[in-house]
Structure 1
Amino acid sequence: MNYKETGFRALYKHFVAFMLKDNLRQCIENYPDADKANCILTCGYIDREAGLTMEVLCAGYKNGDDFSFFDQNKEHRVILRVGSVEEDEFYRFDDSDGRLQKKYADKIEILKDYEASEEVEETRKMEFLDKLRHEHYPDDVMVYLTREGLNPEGCWVRIIGLGDHFIMGTLLNEPDQDFGYHEGEKIAFFVQKTEDDQIICFSNMTPSRKLKAEDLEDGTLLKEAVSIFNKERNEEHFINILEFLRDSYVWIPCNAVMSEADMARFEQAMKDAGDDLSAMVGEEFTTNDKVRLVPDILQNGDNFFFPVFSSKEEMGEYGEHFSKVQKHILEVIPMARNSEKNVAGIVLNAFSESFILDAELFDMIENMKSRLE
């Protein structure tokens, strides 16, 4: 079997032997026992910029159905892009006993530098995307851009993230028509089955209706958009949330943090009050230094989230313990991105009908066009 028959899954993260061609002999001349070799052992990985690639682990010898593999060269590296071996017959080894993994551990360790995010890795398991993938770049898929008044146009998009019902990617080429998005920009796209059971990826770029600032002022429109999306999770409702959020001011729960000097003064005032702390009720305490407002961070399992709310009322009892600050979402995103916690995203209205803006979507929101008139 060869690559054109099997696709990337047969090579990716597998140990694979190729028979040694004349043009490869010079490449492995520094490998141990290369003069005895008639094959090479490789391990497949994905270089997102260069495509599916085979790391040459060692030279080997095939005798009938038996293979012998020699030692690795730790100082020398040879790689093969899949295009150079796509028509060559290969032999795959499952390495169930871990023998190859252990013997060539130094070479395999190098491949960790090419590991993708968990979300991208998850999309590599999606076999329904295989017919849409670039034959040499498995993370690049054909996406059809649509917009009212224009013809659908296929563009290559490199997958960068995964949402509940959508995939995030970067446009790799400039569309011929004016869809409002350009090469290098991030888009969300969706997978759909056509009437004839064909799988396609598409991104609807038809502009939504314009808004006025007052439409978003009390947060009701954003809250309603989340409610609609949670009832029917489709592309149109998802994009509506992102577009409303792009132009919204949201409320952030914050802890007030005084300077050490002011905190010492406050603690002394409490000591002076003795056992009768009720005497301090109604008293004013003026700080000498600026009070820092530190946003609260929520945790769900191993993930941290930056909470925001469409209105102060949406915080409920939770909000009673915090100072509240209103900021535009484009100011909030850098705060979340630079949080001491490595947040997985921004959660909107965490304690009612919530919506999570994954961190992978931050760039997309920042690059979206405003709907405000």
Structure 2
Amino acid sequence: MRTKNIGFRKITGNFWLVSLNNKLRKLVEGYPGVDLANRVLCYGYIDHDAGLSLEVLALSSKDSERVHIFEPNSAISSKIRIGAIQDDNISFVEDRNGEFRKRFAPQISVLDIYAVEEDIQESRKMEVLDIYRSPEYPDDVLVYLLKEGNKPEACWVRIEGIMNNQIIGTLLNEPKQNFSYHLGEKIAFFIHKDENGDIALCSNMNPSQKITAEDLEDGTMLESSIYNFNRERNQDHFLDILEILRDSHVWILGDFVMSDTDESRMKDLIAQSEAESQSIVGNTFKTQDQCKFKPDILKYNEDLFFPVFSNPEAMGEYGNQLSKIQHHFLDVITLAENHEQNLSGIVINAFSEPFVLDKDLWDLVKNMKSRLT
């Protein structure tokens, strides 16, 4: 069967025999049996960036009666990209009793480095996307960019995550028209079904209504957008939250931590006070080094979240236990990215009307255009 007629789901995770032509012979010249072989035994997988691929496991000699598999060369890792053999015939090899999977376990385990996050795995199961997928790159889909004053323009987008009814992806080519988004930036798109049942992937790039710094000052606009989304989870409400977050200042809770030098000085001062009880009464302790602010982190099941709040009132009693500072939300993303722990997301107003911004969406918010006038 021709490679291009086999779906990526069938190729992935299965064993295949590829005819050993002159083009491939140079690729496998370091494998045992190269002078006798006429096939290449491969294992199918997906590289998120390089696309649908076959990992070379060993060479094979196939005739009308039997298939002989030569010993592998575990010191070599060779790959065949599907695009290079899309017009060639490949043969499915049944792995009876899991014999191949056991025999070639070292080569197959190496492919664990190409594992993707759960959102991307889920998107690969979405058959509704298949008519817009690249045949060579299963995670790349054709998306129509929509903006008033522009013609709909199709661009390739690499899927990076899923958030509610939105799919998040990276633009793989520069739009020919001015959409205010460019190659390499993340966009959100959705699956549109028209009255005839036809499907299209669309990204709404019309600029949103402008806002002012005063609109955002007390955090109520952010709270309102989250309230609306939590009750009607549609595209407009979702994007409204992200755009408002992009321009907002939010509150962070945590502790101020002194340097080792200042902490030692403080301990010495306390020790002195125990001997001379009146020695520090009325004195002011001033740190020599800059204090570091250590944000508090919330844990839910096994996931860790960076909590922020639209205003001090949204903190409730939690806000009475820790110090608080205000930061621009884009700075919060930087703090979360550089945190010593592996965070799953940023949670806004965790104890009242919560909204979780998953880690996959941080780049999308950073790349959004400001709505501030």
Q: Quick check: TM above 0.5?
A: yes
For the structure 1 residues 18 and 319, does the alpha-carbon distance in structure 2 shift closer, same or farther, using more than 3 Å as the test?
A: same
Contact 1:225 1:240 in 2 (8 A): yes
* Counterpart-to-counterpart distance in 2, 1:332 and 1:28: 49
* Mean CA deviation greater in 151-160 or 90-99: 90-99
For the structure 1 residues 309 and 3, does the alpha-carbon distance in structure 2 shift closer, same or farther, using more than 3 Å as the test?
A: same
CA RMSD of aligned residues (A): 2.6
For the structure 1 residues 267 and 190, does the alpha-carbon distance in structure 2 shift closer, same or farther, using more than 3 Å as the test?
A: farther
* Counterpart-to-counterpart distance in 2, 1:284 and 1:321: 25
For the structure 1 residues 364 and 222, does the alpha-carbon distance in structure 2 shift closer, same or farther, using more than 3 Å as the test?
A: same
* Counterpart-to-counterpart distance in 1, 2:263 and 2:227: 44
1:59 corresponding residue in structure 2: 59
- Partner amino acid, structure 1, of 2:296: D
Q: Deviations over 1:4-56 (max 9, x none)?
A: 32221111222112233354344434322233323221012223343212121
For the structure 1 residues 273 and 70, does the alpha-carbon distance in structure 2 shift closer, same or farther, using more than 3 Å as the test?
A: farther
Moved over 4 A (4+): 63-66, 265-274, 282-285
* Counterpart-to-counterpart distance in 2, 1:162 and 1:263: 49
Deviation, 1:91, is: 2.8
Counting aligned pairs with the same residue, the percent is: 46
1:135 corresponding residue in structure 2: 135
Instruction: Determine if the alignment matches structure 1 residue 230 to structure 2 residue 227.
Output: no
Q: Deviations over 1:143-171 (max 9, x none)?
A: 11111222211100011222222121111
Structure 2: any 5+ residue segments left out of the alignment? none
For the structure 1 residues 99 and 21, does the alpha-carbon distance in structure 2 shift closer, same or farther, using more than 3 Å as the test?
A: same
Deviation, 1:68, is: 3.0
- Partner amino acid, structure 2, of 1:105: A
Q: How many residues align?
A: 367
Contact 1:43 1:57 in 2 (8 A): yes
Instruction: Determine if the alignment matches structure 1 residue 198 to structure 2 residue 198.
Output: yes
Contact 1:262 1:287 in 2 (8 A): no
Contact 1:3 1:10 in 2 (8 A): no
5 Å matches for 1:362-373?
362-373=362-373
Q: In the alignment, which of 251, 259, 264 is matched to residue 261 of structure 1?
A: 264
Q: Deviations over 1:277-303 (max 9, x none)?
A: xxxxx9887354454321100111221
2:285 corresponding residue in structure 1: 286
* Counterpart-to-counterpart distance in 2, 1:182 and 1:116: 24
Question: Taking structure 1 as the reference length, what is the TM-score of the superposition?
Answer: 0.90
- Partner amino acid, structure 2, of 1:55: E
* Counterpart-to-counterpart distance in 2, 1:270 and 1:232: 60
5 Å matches for 1:14-33?
14-33=14-33
- SS in structure 2 at match of 1:371: coil
- SS in structure 1 at match of 2:35: helix
2:48 corresponding residue in structure 1: 48
* Counterpart-to-counterpart distance in 1, 2:276 and 2:63: 91
Q: Deviations over 1:326-352 (max 9, x none)?
A: 111122111111111111111100111
- SS in structure 2 at match of 1:339: coil
5 Å matches for 1:271-350?
286-289=285-288, 290-350=290-350
Deviation, 1:122, is: 2.5
For the structure 1 residues 36 and 195, does the alpha-carbon distance in structure 2 shift closer, same or farther, using more than 3 Å as the test?
A: same
* Counterpart-to-counterpart distance in 1, 2:300 and 2:94: 37
1:218 corresponding residue in structure 2: 218
Question: Taking structure 2 as the reference length, what is the TM-score of the superposition?
Answer: 0.90
Deviation, 1:271, is: 6.4
Structure 1: any 5+ residue segments left out of the alignment? 275-281
- SS in structure 2 at match of 1:351: coil
